[in-house]
Amino acid sequence: MLRQVIDRAIVEETPEREYYDLNLGPSHPAMHGILENRVKLDGERIVDCESHIGYCHRSFEKLAEHYSYNQVLTITDRMNYVSAMANNIGWTLAAEKLLGIEVPKRVQYVRVIMLELNRIIDHLVRVGILGVDSGAYTGFLYFFEQRERSYKIIEKLTGARLTTTFGRVGGLDRPLYPEFKEDIYEWIGPLRKVLKEFHTMLTRNRIFIERLRDVSPMNAERALEWGYTGPMLRAAGVEYDLRKHEPYSSYEDFDFEIPLGGTGDAYDRYMVCMEEMEQSIRIIEQAVENLPEGPHHADVPEVYLPEKKDVYSNMEAMIYHFKIIMHGICPPAGEVYQAIEAPNGELGFYCVSDGGPNPYRLHFRSPCLYYYQSIEELLRGGLIADAIMTISSINVIAGELER
């Protein structure tokens, strides 16, 4: 910290110096996604930084105004592509809140399991990439094997790996497959082992610690001012977790802890993420253990599509089918904000309905955007190597950042 302050002072005193301009990105191996940072360098020290976003903008919010409530799900797949299901679940929760639907416990528990599973696969990548960017490639591949195993479960559950479109407004799109519980148990064992292995490889590694310690620190006050949430805020020592503070989807049923950091530097972020994975495993274990029996959707025939065989045999089902397909799901006019604790922060869905079948206005609060706003402050004063570690430690997903 002190070093950076002094360096900044030196730099400010000599404004007539010439600097070296360098484009970090948009195509650079460590700019995950397509982020552009134009940095001014004094040797290897970043004197100033100018950040540009927009290379991955696909105008999802506008697009969503022309989609029905279930179709919006397919857009959310493509937002945070590292943990696609978290977005799906967040959106279904928002739509259900708007419609005033209470889904059965079983659905809520399955959502919790999948949210936590997605938190784990997100953190696996995030922490693994931190290793890659610091030069330790091997741990990343250990994690990727685990991630692959998670994808097997996701694929079995939804039929897709990335574009999961998991769940529907009012429940799940299909019942759980029979051996779901066993699959989860089988998945947890090796995952725990690999986490331990990764800890031995990097957590106490002197080089790794020195690469991350005091890199782009962000104190609690400043982090709150920037609108940080999720692991980034917790790394700064603020105990804020939507799963505890505004429980949704039965999070109040589970026993878990919120790992906290102190200085909010890259190492704290790393440690918070590593610990969050352990906590997520705990939550998954509890949820699978106590998974209640019951239907896989709420009893809301005007929202949830009836089964196909009923449509052909049952008058009422056919009418509802016709209504939902032709007129869509029409929530009452109003507005709603539903946020979930997505893997990289508070993922919010602000939806305005005018009573029609499409959202009148939709806004996604993507956590990345709030982190990335502060990138110039984070990078300034550091070295190029620090910039790389900073960008991989804040886990910016371009697809979510720019939507």
Q: Which residues bind another protein (CB under 8 A)?
A: 20, 22, 28-30, 44, 131-138, 141-142, 145, 201-202, 205, 207-208, 210-211, 383-386, 388
Which of 7/354 has CB closer to another protein? 7
Task: Report whether 113 contacts 287 (CB < 8 A).
Answer: yes
Least distance (Å) between residue 255 CB and another protein: 34
Helix, strand, coil percentages in the chain from 3-state DSSP, rounded to 5: 55, 10, 35
Least distance (Å) between residue 119 CB and another protein: 24
Compute the residue count for the chain: 403
Tally Cβ neighbours within 10 Å of residue 265.
23
Q: How far is 84 from 342, CA to CA, in rounded Å? A: 10
Which of 33/230 has CB closer to another protein? 33
Task: Report whether 211 contacts 131 (CB < 8 A).
Answer: no
Which of 130/287 has CB closer to another protein? 130
Which of 24/220 has CB closer to another protein? 24
Q: How far is 113 from 124, CA to CA, in rounded Å? A: 16
Least distance (Å) between residue 75 CB and another protein: 31
Residue whose tokens read 């940080």: 228
Which of 30/319 has CB closer to another protein? 30
| Cα angle for residues 208, 213, 214 (degrees, 5° grid) | 150
What lies within 8 Å, CB to CB, of 176 at 6+ separation is 110, 157, 296
Which of 142/349 has CB closer to another protein? 142
The H or E element containing residue 84 is helix 84-99
**What is the phi-psi region of residue 139: left when phi exceeds 0, alpha when psi lies from -120 to 50, beta otherwise?**
alpha
Which of 32/403 has CB closer to another protein? 32
Least distance (Å) between residue 145 CB and another protein: 6
Least distance (Å) between residue 196 CB and another protein: 16
What lies within 8 Å, CB to CB, of 247 at 6+ separation is none
Least distance (Å) between residue 345 CB and another protein: 24
Least distance (Å) between residue 133 CB and another protein: 4
